Amino acid sequence: MNYKLHIIIALLLSSIALVGQQVQKSTLGSVVLKNAEIYTITNGVITGDIHIDNNDIKAIGRDLQVQDATEIDCTGKRIYPGFVDSGCKIGLAEISSISLTKDFNEIGTFTPHMRALTAVNPSSVHIPITRVNGVTSALTYPEGSLFAGKAALIHLQGYTPDQMSGGFEAGVLKWPASGRRGRWDRRSDEDIEKDKKKALTKLNGFWKNVKVYSELDGDKGYNPQMEALESVANGDEPLLIEVNKKEDILAALAWVNEEGVKAIFTGVSEGWRVADSLAKYDIPAIVGPILQNPSRASDSYDAPYKNAGLLQQAGVLVAIRTTESENVRNLPFNAGFAANYGMGVEEALKAITINPAKIFGVDDKVGSIEEGKSANLFVCDGDPFEMKTRISHVFINGWNIPIESRQTLLYDEYLNRDPGLELKD
Amino acid sequence: MQQRSRLYLIASIIALTLQVFGQSTGDILIKNGTVITIEDGIKEQTDILIRNGKISQIGEGLSASNITEIDAEGMYVMPGIVDAHSHIGIDAVNEATNPVTAEVWVGDAINPFDVGLYRALAGGVTISHAMHGSANAIGGQCETIKHRWGDLDPENWRMKDAPRTIKFALGENPMRVHGEGKNVAPRTRMGIEQEFRRSFAAAKEYKAKKAKAGTTGQMPEYSLRLETLADILDGKIIIHCHSYRADEILMLMNVLEDYGVDKICFQHVNEGFKVAPELAEFGAYASVFSDWWAYKFEVYYSTAYNATILTRNNVITSINSDSRELIRHLYHEAAKTQRYGDLTDNEALKLITINPAIQLGIDDRVGSIKVGKDGDIVIFKGHPLSIYGTPQYTIVDGVVRFDINEDPDDIRVDVDPTVEIPAFYEQSVYDHEAEGCMQGVSTHSHQH
């Protein structure tokens, strides 16, 4: 072998090595997932194939023959629709102790015109870490006092917020709360009551203006706060109302009935105490995290585990959330705890798939595996609530997502560190 | 008024009942369970006899007269879960007034009324390491407690003869509290190294003066801080050090090597995976979160595969809670190592049983099911590493402290007769703010 050939071989080898190190990208195309157990959610469990054509589920059936499609053998595997976290801060917060990396809490009591979608960071390191656990979509929401802004449903794939948008945005109201904010909250009961009343007065004053504004005709000038809530006042758009304590839930319920507001309650940690009232007025509930402490020292240790199931059994449309940013990946385990403590697997699955899709009005696109819906789904080797189960493929809007994140890359690099203990010469 | 006196009466009856129930050891026979021994494989259809709080027999077809029996047919029986990092059951966490406070001891602040202790039992945790916080480079001494819920005497909560432990802390917390907060050193990781060197040098000198007192006739002025530091140098206290970054972990091992100290368990140790070979060579232990990260900059480059990488590099590793929420499902946290890594069932369960017991120096007493060990047992319906695993009974020293069938909603033992309904805590902020390592330090962000 001559000298030149050596160089050529060396160059070839190094270019292969470089290719190997390249960041994997998502791909789009025509893919057939062969021979899987398909947990459709809305149509039982089917054994068969799924044809994904670009963004959508083109066909579901046995022995699908599609020319030029990439085939993925899924024998012995299961397919589920992508899981939806119905309340979290993914993309809006990167490092929680550093306030400049947090974009969910604008200054002001009335900031309904703030839009979470504007501030979603498509490059957040949290996103790949989340989606490899089968969570493909999330309602990411702002937080503050009273009207904090608009939450946005996003899919966890895309280079811009608009590419990620799931087609649903809704205002967030933090209902004036009469609970304590934490163990450090040392306010007297009287002060808590006073603060709550003050907040209620503010809310009602502001809401009166919104209603007047919504009834005005013609050019209303620049009034972004009013404009942001106009459709809520008209009953065209729902309002997400964060409310947890029993008395507060009942007060909020009276308010939405009085004002004719189409409400979705969020948090709802004492929902189990008033489940019948929520069911009676058809208010959907987004509960969670399931893995949280009981709200009162006198409550049973498993009250938070059971809340979602008790609401569902009372007839409430229930979805589950994590409220996390970096650990939205724990959504399936939150649902798993709800399943184990009374809700059952089938209903717990619905609470992170079709139920949020219905609540957000996007069930024509997401939440189940049906022909014509967006291809948001994942392939795994067992029960997705089990920690031991492995996820091998994730598709978001048809994009085949690489099963890697910074955390898996660190694993690959450090499992057998080289050099180990040797020192540099 | 009548209402109030009735409540007083109820409260005192509860207290009385619990006092009786509060006896510290008991006899019990657990029949026909699938016994996960941890150190001796899995034994199907096996009985465990506990006498006077100790495991006296393991085998098939055991019987005993006049004894409480639990039918564990179809259930999993495993050792009580040990949490190597917790702050429940204590009223004070941080003495944040000085970068070195080796003289203080959380054992002075045990609170048997903390309902979090019962909730931990409901998650199968029989022992927790009640730790000082992480405000100081050298914090206070900690206490290993047994969850004897219902026993109202703090003295009975101590695990007698458990080795002494002390909290150290590296990185952002001591830097923020002292450097940023008070403009005194340490403000950097360099400064933190010097806190340890200065303290150990002082302790060495103190020891030398004491040793020479026989000839000089002059004892040094008594200092509990220096006495404690001297005990660390003498290997009488295990260091449990709050740490995150690889560089600071290496720094502390270098300091300890210079002073001949070898008993160290790194806590949190999110970047332990980067220096796993060095940790293994030193013989240091690691006690980690399953998946917490990104709550501050020093944990931004973390991986949930940490426990797996450490285990595969032969570092004795545990999974801890540092949280009154996570402590309720450590079995679930341990199971995450089967998603993030490939630990076997037994390797995953060791992370919450024998390994934390080794780290606390109590592995001769607990952490596995073995004749002669303490009767600390948890019985699960469903496998403990499954999402459908549910603790049914938690037994401490042969006394059933949690029974899912005898589990009243209101379990408090400090019922305040003047309050009919206890305070409601708004969710999601309850746990994350000022609840962990930085309790008692004025900050409202998520700090551990």
Task: Answer yes or no: is pLDDT of A209 > 70.
Answer: yes
What CATH number did the domain enclosing B345 receive?
A: 3.20.20.140
Structural domain containing residue B199:
116-366
Residue A377 has pLDDT above 90, yes or no: yes
Residue B409 domain flag: no
SS3 content of chain B, % helix, strand, coil (to 5): 30, 25, 45
**What one-character DSSP code corresponds to residue A24?**
P
Interface test with A, best of B291, B344, B412, B426 (most A CBs within 10 A): B426
Alpha helix positions (H), A260-374: 275-280, 303-313, 331-338, 345-350, 354-359
**A50-56 CB contacts, 8 Å cutoff, 24+ apart:** A50/A79, A50/A369, A50/A375, A50/A377, A52/A375, A52/A395, A52/A398, A53/A398, A54/A28, A54/A29, A54/A30, A54/A398, A55/A28, A55/A374, A55/A375, A55/A397, A55/A398, A56/A372, A56/A373, A56/A374, A56/A375, A56/A398
- Residues pairing with B169 in the sheet: B242
Structure-derived torsion over alpha carbons of residues B281, B285, B290, B294, reported in degrees to the nearest 10 = -80
What pLDDT shows up at residue A7? 54
> Among partner residues B294, B388, B422, which is closest to A95 by beta-carbon distance?
B294
A245/B contact by beta carbon, under 8 A: yes
- Reduced to 3 states (helix: H, G, I; strand: E, B; else coil), residue A373 is coil
Residue A320 has pLDDT above 60, yes or no: yes
Note whether A97 contacts B447, CB cutoff 8 Å: yes
Q: Which of the residues A123, A189, A265, A293 would you substitute to probe the B interface, choosing the one with the greatest number of B C-beta atoms within 10 Å?
A: A293
pLDDT of residue B428: 47
CA distance, residue B329 to nearest chain A CA (Å): 9
User: Which residue numbers in chain B have pLDDT < 50?
Assistant: 1, 16, 19-20, 428-433, 444-446
Q: Which residues of A touch B296 (CB under 8 A)?
A: 95-98
Residue B355 domain-assigned (yes or no)? yes
Give chain B's count of helices (H) and strands (E).
12, 16
> Distance between CA A154 and CA A152 in Å, rounded?
6
Percent share of chain A, pLDDT over 90: 90
Contact A417/B at CB under 8 A = yes
> Smallest Cβ distance to A291: which of B115, B300, B329?
B329
Domain total of chain B: 1
How many whole angstroms separate alpha carbon B366 and alpha carbon A66? 60
Q: What is the pLDDT of residue A183?
A: 76
CATH pick for A83-364 out of 3.90.226.10, 3.20.20.140, 3.10.620.30, 3.10.129.10: 3.20.20.140
Select the highest-mean-pLDDT range: A15-29, A278-292, B20-34, B205-219.
Answer: A278-292
Best mutation site among A89, A411, A412, A421 for testing chain B: the one with the most B CBs within 10 Å? A411
- Partners of B278 on chain A (C-beta within 8 Å) are 421
**What tens digit of pLDDT does each residue of A132-167 get?**
999 999 999 999 889 999 999 999 999 999 999 999
Residue B280 neighbours by CB under 8 Å, 6+ apart:
B313, B314, B315
> What CA–CA distance (Å, rounded) separates A37 from A49?
9
User: Which carries the bigger pLDDT value, residue A178 or residue A424?
Assistant: A178
Res B448: pLDDT:
61
What are the domain boundaries of chain A?
Answer: 26-82+367-420, 83-364
B124 lies in a domain?
yes
CB contact residues (below 8 A), chain A span 342-371, against chain B: none
pLDDT at B437: 79
The verdict on a CB contact (< 8 Å) between A292 and B276 is no
**pLDDT score, position A399:** 98
What CATH fold (topology level) applies to the domain A26-82+367-420? Urease, subunit C; domain 1 (2.30.40)
Specify the pLDDT at position B13: 54
User: Distance between the two ends of chain A, CA-based, in angstroms?
Assistant: 34
Q: Which residue of B has its CA nearest to A287?
A: B427
- Kindly list the distances between the CA atom of residue A378 and the CA atoms of A74, A83, B350, in Å, as whole numbers in the listed order: 11, 9, 31
Tokens of B180: 């940023």
pLDDT of residue B430: 39
Average pLDDT along chain A: 94
> What pLDDT band is residue A9 in, cutting at 50, 70 and 90?
low
Residues in chain B with CB shorter than 8 Å from the CB of A304 are 427
